[in-house]
Amino acid sequence: MSSDELELVWNNIKAEARALADCEPMLASFFHATLLKHENLGSALSYMLANKLANPIMPAIAIREIVEEAYREDPSMIMSAAYDIQAVRQRDPAVDKYSTPLLYLKGFHALQAYRIGHWLWNEGRRALAVYLQNEISVSFAVDIHPAANIGHGIMLDHATGIVIGETAVVENDVSILQSVTLGGTGKNQRRSSPENP
């Protein structure tokens, strides 16, 4: 995905948010806080993840700093999120807006939070990665090990009960439904790999 394509996805999201705010004034401040006040998709993602995963021990500002650090160091995560948004928009018949995954879908939220945990894991910050894995599980009922390898263009549909283990490899352009477990028993190092059709 080029930076122009990323900008197009973001502009579609913002245009939808403006129209939604006009149609439902009771949610105008919600649309402004989550989408309209942000300059780009990365900023909106960091805000969303921080507010979804915050708790009394780890406040939103601390989580947002972690997410923004990860995005600065690896901007491909933002591109992956845009691919994921496009995947949900194209494959989920219940989704008719690009803004829907970002605003409402916990599978999308869990996947983007996993990407931060995966970055932390690869940076050797494993305690924080596992902490984040737990918070993702508690918040979204999705358990993705931070060492798992997941491509882009992923749709976690409904998402409740999805478990993706340490040895799992999920290639690009894969859809996973609720209550699916990927990964072995933990007794061998073989990778388990769902592939696109």
Cα-atom radius of gyration of the chain, to the nearest Å?
Answer: 16
Residue 197 has pLDDT above 80, yes or no: no
Query: Is residue 189 a part of any domain in this protein?
Result: no
Query: Is residue 76 a part of any domain in this protein?
Result: yes
Domain with 125 in it: 3-182
Query: Is residue 92 a part of any domain in this protein?
Result: yes
Query: Is residue 196 a part of any domain in this protein?
Result: no
Read off the pLDDT of each residue in 116-137 and give the average, rounded to a whole number: 98
91-95, 167-171, 177-181, 183-187: which has the minimum mean pLDDT?
183-187
pLDDT digits (tens, 9 = 90+) for 147-167: 999 999 999 999 999 999 999
Query: Is residue 197 a part of any domain in this protein?
Result: no
Gap between the Cα atoms of 149 and 182, Å rounded: 11
Query: Is residue 125 a part of any domain in this protein?
Result: yes
Q: Which two tokens stand for residue 190?
A: 């073989």
Residue 187 has pLDDT above 70, yes or no: no
Counting the structural domains of the chain, the total is 1
- Residue type for 118, please? H
pLDDT digits (tens, 9 = 90+) for 15-52: 999 999 999 999 999 999 999 999 999 999 999 999 99
Query: Is residue 190 a part of any domain in this protein?
Result: no
pLDDT band at 2 (very low <50, low <70, confident <90, very high): confident
Cβ-contact 178, 94 below 8 angstroms: no
Gap between the Cα atoms of 27 and 93, Å rounded: 24
> Domain holding 41: CATH number?
1.10.3130.10
pLDDT computed for residue 1 by the predictor: 77
Gap between the Cα atoms of 21 and 19, Å rounded: 5
Beta strands 181-182; 163-164: pairing state: parallel
pLDDT computed for residue 185 by the predictor: 58
Gap between the Cα atoms of 53 and 133, Å rounded: 10
pTM for this predicted structure: 0.92
Read off the pLDDT of each residue in 112-141 and give the average, rounded to a whole number: 98
Distance of CA 7 to the CA centre of its chain: 18
Query: Is residue 18 a part of any domain in this protein?
Result: yes
CA atoms within 13 A on the CB side of 80: 23
